[in-house]
């Protein structure tokens, strides 16, 4: 059966991925805006379409903890969360890569309290930035579906064995119905091999997992994790390449839109990349030399690809959906600056922050951001960053 393009809510498409991957265990706790994913999975298990154990845990801390347990005995494990949920499970999120458990988690990005906000920004994702997971951001429904599928293959690759997070913007992706080319199980044949953990918890071959590390060995364990995460990039690229060859949709760590010869580049992460293309088109029609860079692979950070992508630009305007309070501005911008520092030819990097707590950012706003960014690059500014759309 050929794949079909259907109108489907993106959360449901992500749940469909877990079904296609034939996950063994789902442990999850309801939190807006992720709930539709796990509700759908509960339904799939309840009506027999998915043979899995669904553990309706009593907190996100327990959700990720149960995921550790099921993954450690060799079961393919999936969960989803958002915002406060990711914050509550933070402690456990750190443990998964240290035990080399390839859990796959969808995060419907949400702002953090307080004040309480169920709406989207990337503050939750930035809180787990350094936890050692492979992390990627979807820009639309199709990417959310495709990247989630690839996530299982990447995470479980014997040379990777690292948990993988797929970020999709809360509401603006999670709750939106988009036309998505869904894949059928028989089309996937072999793309996600059966999950075999090399050393699961089994009585016939007892292992000790999670022993503690004194100073004499802790550094080495962290280094080993870091090496594994950095090396995962080859597998990620290979998985995306094969996905492209088989299903016709190609993904790369950094995506350019009309960016090749542009002198000014806007850089976004997540669904704003889609909105920003409208602004870029408009400005191009106006004869302005602007382009867009969308950052898809967040961890391991694609240093080389970023350097490549901006090599012809004079100005890079980074638009962050998160504020590093009291710090240099946007967390993505910090990383871009750090990636470009020391390069022979460096573009000027300008930092903008907006879209916090679900605040809409329109194509007009992006046009203004680009114009203002160019102005700052030319005239300079006393501020580390500018926050857009703030009502005084």
Partner 1 sequence: MDKFTVFTPQLLPQEELFASGHRACVGCGEALAVRLVCKALGRDVVIVNATGCMEIVSSQIPRTSWKVPWIHTLFENTASVASGAEAGLKILRKKDRYSGGKVTVVAMAGDGGTSDIGLQALSGAMERGHNLLYVCYDNEAYMNTGVQRSSSTPLGASTTTSPAGEKSVGQFSWKKNMPAIAVAHNISYVATASPSYPFDLMDKVRKGVEATGTSYIHILSVCPTGWRCGSDMAVTLGRLAVETGVFPLYEVEDGKYKLSLDFPRLRPVRDYLKHQGRFRHLTDVIIDKIQDRVTDEYLKLRRKASED
Q: Which is nearer to partner 1, 63 or 280 (CB)?
A: 63
Q: Which is nearer to partner 1, 223 or 241 (CB)?
A: 223
Window 292 to 351, contacts with partner 1 (CB under 8 A): none
Region of residue 52 (phi > 0: left; psi between -120 and 50: alpha; otherwise: beta):
beta
Q: Which residues pair with 54 in a beta bridge?
A: 26
R_g over Cα of the chain: 21
Q: CB under 8 A: which stretch of 209-217, 257-265, 343-351, 364-372 binds partner 1?
A: 209-217
Binding residue (CB under 8 A) for partner 1 from 65, 81, 117, 232: 65
Q: How many residues bind partner 1 (CB under 8 A)?
A: 45
CA neighbor of 189 nearest in space, from 246, 144, 147: 246
Q: How many residues does the chain have?
A: 392
Q: Which is nearer to partner 1, 212 or 341 (CB)?
A: 212
Q: How far is the CB of 53 from partner 1 (least distance, A)?
A: 4
Q: Please check whether residue 23 is in contact with residue 77, taking contact to mean a CB–CB distance below 8 angstroms.
A: yes
Q: How far is the CB of 245 from partner 1 (least distance, A)?
A: 29
Question: How far, in Å, CA of 33 to CA of 37, rounded?
Answer: 9
Q: Which residues pair with 181 in a beta bridge?
A: 5
Q: How many CB atoms lie within 10 A of CB 216?
A: 7
Q: Which is nearer to partner 1, 163 or 300 (CB)?
A: 163
Q: How far is the CB of 92 from partner 1 (least distance, A)?
A: 6
Tokens encoding 232: 């995962």
Q: How far is the CB of 113 from partner 1 (least distance, A)?
A: 20
Q: DSSP class of residue 324? A: B
Q: Which is nearer to partner 1, 65 or 271 (CB)?
A: 65
Binding residue (CB under 8 A) for partner 1 from 190, 206, 326, 380: 206
Q: How far is the CB of 184 from partner 1 (least distance, A)?
A: 21
Question: Is 128 one of the binding residues for partner 1 (CB under 8 A)?
Answer: no
Question: Is 46 one of the binding residues for partner 1 (CB under 8 A)?
Answer: no
Query: By rule CB under 8 A, what string of x and - marks binding of each residue 164-203 to partner 1?
Result: -------------------------------------xxx
Q: How far is the CB of 288 from partner 1 (least distance, A)?
A: 53
Question: Is 90 one of the binding residues for partner 1 (CB under 8 A)?
Answer: no
Residues in Cβ contact with 35 at an 8 Å cutoff, skipping those fewer than 6 apart: 11
Q: How many CB atoms lie within 10 A of CB 66?
A: 22
Residues in Cβ contact with 225 at an 8 Å cutoff, skipping those fewer than 6 apart: 97, 98, 132
Q: Please check whether residue 33 is in contact with residue 86, taking contact to mean a CB–CB distance below 8 angstroms.
A: no
Q: DSSP class of residue 263? A: S
Q: Which residues pair with 9 in a beta bridge?
A: 177
Q: How far is the CB of 216 from partner 1 (least distance, A)?
A: 9
Question: Is 154 one of the binding residues for partner 1 (CB under 8 A)?
Answer: no
Question: Is 62 one of the binding residues for partner 1 (CB under 8 A)?
Answer: yes
Q: How far is the CB of 194 from partner 1 (least distance, A)?
A: 8
Binding residue (CB under 8 A) for partner 1 from 39, 53, 187, 386: 53
Quick one: how far is CA 354 from the chain centroid? 19
Q: Which is nearer to partner 1, 67 or 367 (CB)?
A: 67
Distances (CA, A) of 339 to 66, 224, 297, 384: 37, 23, 14, 17
Question: Is 19 one of the binding residues for partner 1 (CB under 8 A)?
Answer: no
Question: Is 219 one of the binding residues for partner 1 (CB under 8 A)?
Answer: no
Residues in Cβ contact with 175 at an 8 Å cutoff, skipping those fewer than 6 apart: 9, 10, 11, 33, 36
**First-residue to last-residue Cα distance in the chain:** 57
Query: By rule CB under 8 A, what string of x and - marks binding of each residue 221-240 to partner 1?
Result: x-------------------
Question: Is 93 one of the binding residues for partner 1 (CB under 8 A)?
Answer: no
Residue numbers of the site for partner 1 (CB under 8 A)?
Answer: 24-25, 27, 51-53, 55-59, 61-63, 65-75, 77, 91-92, 95, 99, 201-204, 206-214, 217, 221
């Amino acid at each position: 059966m050929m794949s079909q393009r259907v109108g489907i809510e993106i959360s449901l498409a992500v749940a469909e991925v877990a079904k296609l991957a034939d996950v063994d265990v789902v442990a999850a706790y309801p939190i807006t805006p992720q709930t539709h994913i796990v509700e759908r999975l509960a339904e799939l298990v309840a009506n027999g379409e998915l043979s899995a154990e669904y553990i309706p845990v009593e907190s996100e801390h327990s959700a990720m903890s149960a995921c550790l347990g099921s993954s450690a005995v060799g079961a393919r494990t999936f969960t989803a969360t958002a915002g406060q949920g990711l914050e509550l499970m933070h402690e456990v999120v750190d443990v998964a890569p240290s035990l080399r458990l390839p859990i796959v988690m969808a995060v419907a990005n949400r702002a953090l309290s307080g004040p309480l906000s169920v709406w989207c920004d990337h503050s939750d994702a930035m809180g787990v930035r350094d936890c050692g997971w492979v992390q990627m951001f979807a820009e639309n429904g199709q990417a959310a579906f495709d990247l989630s599928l690839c996530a299982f293959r990447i995470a479980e690759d014997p040379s990777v064995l690292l948990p993988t997070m797929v970020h999709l913007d809360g509401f603006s992706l999670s709750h939106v119905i988009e036309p998505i080319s869904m894949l059928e199980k028989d089309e996937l044949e072999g793309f996600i091999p059966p999950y075999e953990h090399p050393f699961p918890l089994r009585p016939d071959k007892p292992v000790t997992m999670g022993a503690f590390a004194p100073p004499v060995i802790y550094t080495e364990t962290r280094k080993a994790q870091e090496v594994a995460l950095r090396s995962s990039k080859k597998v990620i690229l290979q998985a995306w390449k094969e996905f492209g060859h088989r299903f016709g949709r190609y993904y790369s760590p950094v995506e350019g839109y009309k960016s090749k010869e542009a002198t000014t580049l806007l850089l976004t992460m997540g669904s704003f990349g889609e909105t920003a293309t409208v602004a870029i088109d408009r400005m191009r029609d106006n004869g302005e030399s602007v382009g867009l860079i969308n950052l898809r692979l967040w961890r391991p950070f694609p240093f080389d690809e970023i350097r490549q992508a901006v090599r012809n630009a004079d100005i890079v305007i980074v638009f962050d959906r998160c504020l590093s309070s009291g710090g240099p501005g946007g967390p993505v911008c910090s990383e871009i600056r750090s990636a470009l520092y020391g390069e022979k030819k460096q573009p000027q990097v300008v930092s903008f922050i907006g879209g916090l707590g679900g605040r809409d950012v329109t194509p007009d706003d992006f046009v203004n951001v680009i114009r203002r960014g160019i102005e700052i690059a030319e005239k300079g500014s006393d501020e580390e960053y500018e926050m857009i759309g703030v009502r005084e």
